[in-house]
């Protein structure tokens, strides 16, 4: 894998802090609860937090929910009630009713952080009480200084110290993926002869996921910096690789792991040849409308750098600015090294200043959060909602065409509207 002579990895980063337009970490519960089937997420927060979860995951009202909110009332916020006792009562009520719960996450929020409610103390106490049937952990989903994908990072990082020690050499695949995508990845690794492979987060508490000094791990999501550090503290070794988006990204991700496990070129070619060709063709078809067009990324999901790499190197787009809420160098360096110098690389956000840059740039496609998309559309810019990229299966070969299609759709729609108006 060779990169450009001068890449974004060597370029200075524009760092700004100010008002930001992102969802909070509670949002990640929406995909985590689907992934971890015996887990329950109890948000210790306000009515606002409850509304966010309910409206964002409205579909869950038809199912037995696996998340809820222990609402902090005004007496809690004023420090007049013992919130720890109330948490104990809520948890008791929940666990006596729901014997299927094996992992309970107490999820912090802005209000619980503001009143400095110690959820780790509560988690320890409740874990002792309900072990071994239920493991109680805590993490923060607060929107103070965070973006929504950090909820998953905080959740996975909270699980790492709790993983059993394993001695055998193994590959740990880290990041919550839709089941169908995860199965494809595991099947490719299996065909390459790589194993044993386990996944964090596991679907069930009893799944045999452990960590040790012979564990090597590969990330499937670029926003898992804390989880990466927690795994390294347990002695595991990170395999840095470009993220598996598109044909090139997926091949590079697999190749790096294959090299680690000594897979021969012949086996690698045999296993990847057909899906690579399918992915290449699908991307070529879906990206016709993207070629030679420009893109501007507002910081949102932390997927921006690998996605910009995909759009530039596989779809022929030109990036004007790649904004990311946080740049975890250790994780995204391989993707940065594949992006030729040129775009502004920015970290953090002062939304007004960034809006000025986006208006001046007038990119063909602006990737941004929901709050910015409508006003920018009204100003004549074509936008893509960044959050869709987190909720849609986009990783690995079979989704490569869909990924290009997600970016192509708003441009096609705009082109059609233009033709209709003429
Ligand atoms: S955690 Fe904070 S940002 Fe998120 S819904 Fe609750 S109050 Fe709002």
Please name the residue ranges forming H helices in 337-386.
351-361, 370-378
Within 10 angstroms of residue 42's Cβ, the number of other Cβ atoms is: 21
Look up residue 295 and give its two tokens. 């893109």
Nearest C-alpha to atom 5 of ligand 1 is from which residue? 49
Rounded to the nearest angstrom, the distance between the alpha carbon of 105 and the centre of ligand 1 is 17
Pocket of ligand 1 from Cβ distances under 6 Å? 24, 26, 45-46, 48-49, 52, 109-110, 141-143
Q: Which residue has the higher pLDDT, 60 or 241?
A: 241
pLDDT of 127 > 80? The answer is yes
Please name the residue ranges forming H helices in 131-203.
150-159, 179-191
Do the Cβ atoms of 63 and 34 come closer than 8 Å?
no
Nearest C-alpha to atom 8 of ligand 1 is from which residue? 49
Average pLDDT, the chain: 91
pLDDT at position 65? 75
| pTM (2 d.p.) | 0.92
Mean pLDDT of 100-122: 92
Q: Which of 31-35, 46-50, 273-277: highest mean pLDDT?
A: 273-277
Model pLDDT for residues 276-296, shown as the tens digit of each residue:
999 999 999 999 999 999 999
Distance, CA of 396 to CA of 177 (rounded, Å): 11
Residue 202 C-beta-side C-alpha neighbours within 13 Å: 17
Name the CA dihedral angle for 178, 284, 384, 6, rounded to a multiple of 10 degrees: 100
Mean pLDDT of 9-25: 84
Within its chain, how far is the Cα of 214 from the centroid? 26
pLDDT at position 382? 96
Omega prior to 344 cis, within 30 of 0: no
Distance, CA of 29 to CA of 386 (rounded, Å): 17
pLDDT of 74 > 70? The answer is no
The closest alpha carbon to 4, from 335, 400, 363, 295, belongs to 335
DSSP 226-274: HHHHHHHHTT-EE-----SBHHHHHHHHHHHHHHHTT--HHHHHHHHHH
pLDDT of 256 > 70? The answer is yes
pLDDT at position 280? 98
Do the Cβ atoms of 105 and 41 come closer than 8 Å?
yes
Distance, CA of 4 to CA of 1 (rounded, Å): 10
pLDDT at position 77? 61
Rounded to the nearest angstrom, the distance between the alpha carbon of 56 and the centre of ligand 1 is 13
pLDDT at position 55? 76
Look up residue 406 and give its two tokens. 């997600």
Rounded to the nearest angstrom, the distance between the alpha carbon of 109 and the centre of ligand 1 is 6
How would you list the strands of the sheet with 39-45, edge to edge? Answer: 67-71, 39-45, 103-108, 135-140
Helix (H, G, I), strand (E, B) or coil at 72: coil
pLDDT of 62 > 60? The answer is no
pLDDT at position 61? 47
The closest alpha carbon to 159, from 120, 201, 122, belongs to 201
The closest alpha carbon to 48, from 167, 143, 154, belongs to 143
Look up residue 407 and give its two tokens. 């970016």
Model pLDDT for residues 366-411, shown as the tens digit of each residue:
999 888 999 999 999 999 998 888 889 999 999 999 999 999 999 9
From the CA of 109, give the closest atom in ligand 1.
1
Rounded to the nearest angstrom, the distance between the alpha carbon of 49 and the centre of ligand 1 is 5
Distance, CA of 326 to CA of 26 (rounded, Å): 18
Do the Cβ atoms of 27 and 148 come closer than 8 Å?
yes
Do the Cβ atoms of 224 and 306 come closer than 8 Å?
no
Q: Which residue has the higher pLDDT, 118 or 422?
A: 118
pLDDT of 115 > 50? The answer is yes
pLDDT of 78 > 90? The answer is no
From the CA of 110, give the closest atom in ligand 1.
2
pLDDT of 353 > 90? The answer is yes
Look up residue 173 and give its two tokens. 């695949």
Q: Which residues pair with 322 in a beta bridge?
A: 297, 345
- The H or E element spanning position 71 is strand 67-71
The closest alpha carbon to 406, from 313, 286, 288, belongs to 286
């Amino acid at each position: 894998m060779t990169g450009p002579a001068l890449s974004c990895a060597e370029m200075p980063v524009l760092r700004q802090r100010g008002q930001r337009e992102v969802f909070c970490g509670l949002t990640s519960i929406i995909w985590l609860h689907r992934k971890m089937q015996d887990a329950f997420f109890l948000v210790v927060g306000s009515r606002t937090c409850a509304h966010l979860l309910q409206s964002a995951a409205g579909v869950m009202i038809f199912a037995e929910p696996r998340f809820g909110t222990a609402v902090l009332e005004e007496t809690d916020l004023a420090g007049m009630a013992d919130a720890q006792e109330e948490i104990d009562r809520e948890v008791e009520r929940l666990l006596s009713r729901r014997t299927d719960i094996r992992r309970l996450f107490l999820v912090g929020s802005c209000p619980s952080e503001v009143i400095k409610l110690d959820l780790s103390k509560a988690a320890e106490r409740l874990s002792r009480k309900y072990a071994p049937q239920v493991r109680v952990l805590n993490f923060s989903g607060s929107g103070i200084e965070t973006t929504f994908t950090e909820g998953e990072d905080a959740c996975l990082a909270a699980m790492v110290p709790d993983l059993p020690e394993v001695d055998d050499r193994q590959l740990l695949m880290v990041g919550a993926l839709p089941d169908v995508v995860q199965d494809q990845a595991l099947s490719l690794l299996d065909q390459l002869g790589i194993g044993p492979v386990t996944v964090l987060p596991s679907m069930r508490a009893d799944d045999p996921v452990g960590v040790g000094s012979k564990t090597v791990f590969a990330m499937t999501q670029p926003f898992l910096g804390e989880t990466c550090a927690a795994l390294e503290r347990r002695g595991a070794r990170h395999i840095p690789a470009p993220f598996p988006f598109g044909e090139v990204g997926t091949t590079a991700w697999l190749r790096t792991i294959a090299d680690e496990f000594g897979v021969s070129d012949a086996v690698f070619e045999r296993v990847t040849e057909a899906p690579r060709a399918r992915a290449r063709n699908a991307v070529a078809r879906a990206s016709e409308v993207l070629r030679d067009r420009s893109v501007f990324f507002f910081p949102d999901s932390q997927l921006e750098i690998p996605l910009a790499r995909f759009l530039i190197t596989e779809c022929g787009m030109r990036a004007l600015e790649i904004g990311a809420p946080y740049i975890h160098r250790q994780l995204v360096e391989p993707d940065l090294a594949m992006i030729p110098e040129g775009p502004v690389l920015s970290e953090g956000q002062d939304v007004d200043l960034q809006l000025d840059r986006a208006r001046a740039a007038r990119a063909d496609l602006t990737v941004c959060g929901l709050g910015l998309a409508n006003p920018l559309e009204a100003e004549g810019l074509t936008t893509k909602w960044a959050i869709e990229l987190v909720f849609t299966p986009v990783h690995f070969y079979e989704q490569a065409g869909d990924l290009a299609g997600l970016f192509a759709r708003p441009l096609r729609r705009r082109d059609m509207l233009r033709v209709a108006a003429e």
